Amino acid sequence: MANLIIDAQQRAQGLDLIFFSGYSGDANYLLEALPSPSKFPDLRVMGGDGIYDRESYPTGASGFPANAYNRLFFIASGYSDTWSSLHRTHSCLCEYSLAFDPQTVCPGPQTDSKYYYNRADGNAILAYDAVRTLVHAASLSEQIARKRGDSTFTFDDLNQAFEGMHGNRALQGASGQIAFALNGDPIDKAVVVISADTQEITHLESISGCFLKGKCQPMGAA
């Protein structure tokens, strides 16, 4: 694979980005085969959130293949450092930390520091938001059912609850604002771009979409 990358570099002068659309188990072969940064200093790799699963790499939770650092970028739908970049926090972060590392004070200098221990990854953040959103929708559905005199809600009630979850009725999730259009699609869901440096530390590069509830354009705005 290394020869294929070098051949592509030679055929396409100025090639500086490889986009990988698979998962971490397959990305490992590509990242390990990257030519030396000294020979191709501008070559970068970008992928989706499937690359974020650090535990699936042979190096485990310690990180990505060594050759990938300072060259790897990927997107994610949930990233805990997004909150600190905004000088804010979310209850999800400490709830996760205290559940798996109750001896470490949260918030504190030692928390949110190690993946799969006291630092939630993107999948954990999305799972938290998914359960919280479903519980919230179920609560709204019960209110809808009670208004018509029923003691239990129906699937249609639940669907109506989700359809009304936008604007000032949107939720502030750990992954950003949670809002749905009438067709069920998420509205302006926040997505972040993350990089990994040579010290095996990930960094927030940018945020796209609506992260903070109440600071987004209304439905239909240009």
pLDDT along the chain (222 residues), means of 10: 66 79 84 80 88 70 74 91 93 93 88 84 94 95 93 93 92 96 92 88 92 71 39
| Whether the Cβ atoms of residue 210 and residue 190 lie closer than 8 Å to each other | yes
Q: In the prediction, which pLDDT does 163 show?
A: 92
Q: What is the DSSP letter of 36?
A: P
| Whether the Cβ atoms of residue 81 and residue 204 lie closer than 8 Å to each other | yes
Q: In the prediction, which pLDDT does 219 show?
A: 42
Domain ranges of the chain: 1-76, 78-189+209-222
CA quadruple 85, 86, 90, 94: dihedral, nearest 10 = 30
Q: In the prediction, which pLDDT does 220 show?
A: 41
Distance CA 103, CA 94 (A): 12
Distance CA 173, CA 121 (A): 14
Distance CA 152, CA 68 (A): 53
Q: In the prediction, which pLDDT does 222 show?
A: 36
* Neighbour-count burial of 118, counting CB atoms closer than 10 A to its CB (0-12 exposed, 13-18 middle, 19+ buried): buried
Alpha helices in the chain (DSSP H): 2-11, 24-32, 81-85, 91-100, 122-147, 155-163
